[in-house]
Amino acid sequence: MSQIWWVNQKVKIDGRVANEVVWSPTGEKESWHWATMWEVEPGDIIVHYTDQHIVAVSEANNGAVPSANPFADELQDEWTEEGKRIDVSLRWLEAPIAKTDIALDARKEAAKNRGPFQRDGIRVKQGYFFPVSQLLWDALKEAAGLGELESAADDTQLAPEIDGATDVERLALVRREQYQLRKYLLQRGELRCGICGREMPARYLHAAHIKTRSEATERQRKDIENIVMWACTLGCDQAFECGDISITPDGTIALSSLDRIFLEQTFGHLEGQMAPAFNAGNAHYFAARSNNFLI
Ligand SMILES: [Zn+2]
């Protein structure tokens, strides 16, 4: 059974927190919240916290091994050269989890047993590396909106990388937005591609952003009802994603002029048809997507 850990990371390299390596000093002045790193075993899960948010979840590739400070060039602080490192396989969360989204009870409890929070549950301890209790881990999953992780295990979108229950949870955290979007679309009931209109099993359907996710505002991203649709993995999702298929302002399907022969062979029967996903509520998202590809 994997242990869960919490690391406070502030070091920024290229504008991002340098998360692929977890490192802390050793020696006489080794603080208890640095020494905790020695307890890590390969496969343990680490949540990465910075700027009031959990921003990534990783898996430890190895236990701690002696290592000089890999950040020595970037840092000019009091940390010594001698230390230990753990290399991790890191996944950024699609949607970071705010500290304040975690249940206060769990945060307060996490002051005990070397946990990451102070007794008020409001502040995170000044320190580096802390064990995460089952209660805090459960609260984290709850904060991420992952109440029913059993169904995540059945989710073939996640399946190829899954190795054990904790890994299911780790990947579900990483992809919680996709998970929540799927959950919404599944609840809506209709298992049908929003572009080609074919009905099919959920495992062939992807929850696709109509307006490109990276260009959507936070408010638009939360407009789940309108900004997502099912797009089938049999071609529509990819074709829509890269602009080979677009939806015109009147809701009909248009094909790009690139690779015209291939596109006609593959999607020609859809050209000029109404896209089933199109409606008055999401027309502006389709328009925003099309604008990406206008030259
Ligand atoms: Zn389709």
Distance between CA atoms of residues 17 and 15, nearest Å:
7
Q: Is pLDDT at 13 greater than 60 in this prediction?
A: no
Q: Which residue has the higher pLDDT, 159 or 88?
A: 88
Single pTM value for the model? 0.62
Q: Sorting pLDDT into bands at 50, 70 and 90, what band is 91?
A: confident
Domain 4-171 has CATH 3.10.590.10: yes
Domain ranges of the chain: 4-171, 178-290
Residue 162 CA to ligand 1 center (angstroms) comes to 26
Predicted pLDDT at 119: 95
* CA nearest to 213, candidates 285, 115, 154: 285
Residue 216 CA to ligand 1 center (angstroms) comes to 23
Residue 285 CA to ligand 1 center (angstroms) comes to 18
Residue 230 CA to ligand 1 center (angstroms) comes to 8
Residue 174 CA to ligand 1 center (angstroms) comes to 26
Write out pLDDT tens, residues 193-231.
999 999 999 889 999 999 988 788 878 888 989 999 999
Write out pLDDT tens, residues 110-135.
999 999 999 999 999 999 999 999 89
Residues with CB in 5 Å of ion ligand 1? 193, 195-196, 232, 236
Q: Is pLDDT at 12 greater than 70 in this prediction?
A: no
Distance between CA atoms of residues 228 and 211, nearest Å:
8
Q: Is pLDDT at 74 greater than 70 in this prediction?
A: no
Predicted pLDDT at 146: 67
Which residues, 6+ apart, have CB-to-CB distance to 253 below 8 Å? 195, 245, 246, 247, 267, 270, 271, 272, 273, 274, 275
| Percentage of residues of the chain with pLDDT beyond 90 | 51
Distance between CA atoms of residues 151 and 168, nearest Å:
10
Residue 192 CA to ligand 1 center (angstroms) comes to 8
Write out pLDDT tens, residues 240-269.
999 999 999 999 999 999 899 999 999 999
Predicted pLDDT at 1: 67
Write out pLDDT tens, residues 36-48.
999 999 989 999 9
Contact between 69 and 23 (Cβ < 8 Å): yes
Residue 170 CA to ligand 1 center (angstroms) comes to 30
Predicted pLDDT at 159: 42
